[in-house]
Homo-oligomer: A and B are copies of this chain.
Amino acid sequence: MVTMKDVAEHAGVSIATVSFVVNDTKPVTPATRARIEAAMVELGYRRNAVARALASRRTRILALVYPVFERPLNTSSVEFFTSAAAAASARGYHLVIWPVSNDGRELGELLGQRLVDGVLLMEVQLDDSRVQVLERSGTPFALIGRTREPDRYRYVDIDFEATVAGAVDHLAALGHQHLTLVLGSGVDHGDRDYGPFARTRAAFDALLPERTLTGRTIEVNQTEDATALADRIVASHPAATGILVLNDHTALRLVAGLRRTGRKVPGDISVMGLLAAAESGMVCDPPLTLMRAPGPELGRLGADALIRDLEKDEPLPPRLVPCAFEPGQSTAPRRSS
> Which A positions have Cβ atoms within 8 angstroms of B?
1, 46-51, 53-54, 59, 61, 63, 68-69, 72-73, 75, 78-79, 81-82, 85-86, 89, 94-99, 109-110, 112-115, 225-226, 249, 252-253, 255-257, 259-260, 279, 282-285, 287
Contacts and interface: CB of A to CB of B under 8 A. Distances in A.
Nearest to A224: B282
Nearest to A260: B285
Contacts of A48: 113-114
Contact of A113 (B47, B96, B112): B47
Contacts of A94: 98, 110, 115
18 contacts: A46-B112, A46-B113, A48-B113, A48-B114, A51-B54, A54-B54, A68-B78, A68-B81, A72-B79, A95-B99, A96-B96, A96-B97, A96-B99, A252-B283, A253-B283, A256-B283, A257-B285, A259-B285
A109 B44 CA distance: 12
Given A81-B99, A82-B68, A249 B54 contact: no
B69 A72 contact: no
Contacts of A114: 1, 46, 48-50
B68 A85 contact: yes
Contacts of A63: 96
Contacts of A225: 282
A61 B253 CA distance: 39
Contacts of A69: 82, 86
Given A256-B285, A285-B256, A99 B113 contact: no
A75 B72 contact: yes
Nearest to A114: B48
Nearest to A250: B283
7 interchain residue pairs of minimum CB distance? A46-B112, A256-B285, A252-B283, A49-B113, A97-B97, A96-B96, A85-B99
A75 to B, nearest CB: 7
Contacts of A253: 282-283
Nearest to A66: B97
A61 B226 contact: no
Contacts of A53: 50
Nearest to A113: B49
Contacts of A283: 226, 249, 252-253, 256, 283
Contact of A285 (B73, B82, B226): B226
Given A114-B48, A249-B283, A82 B99 contact: yes
A174 to B, nearest CB: 22
A61 B252 contact: no
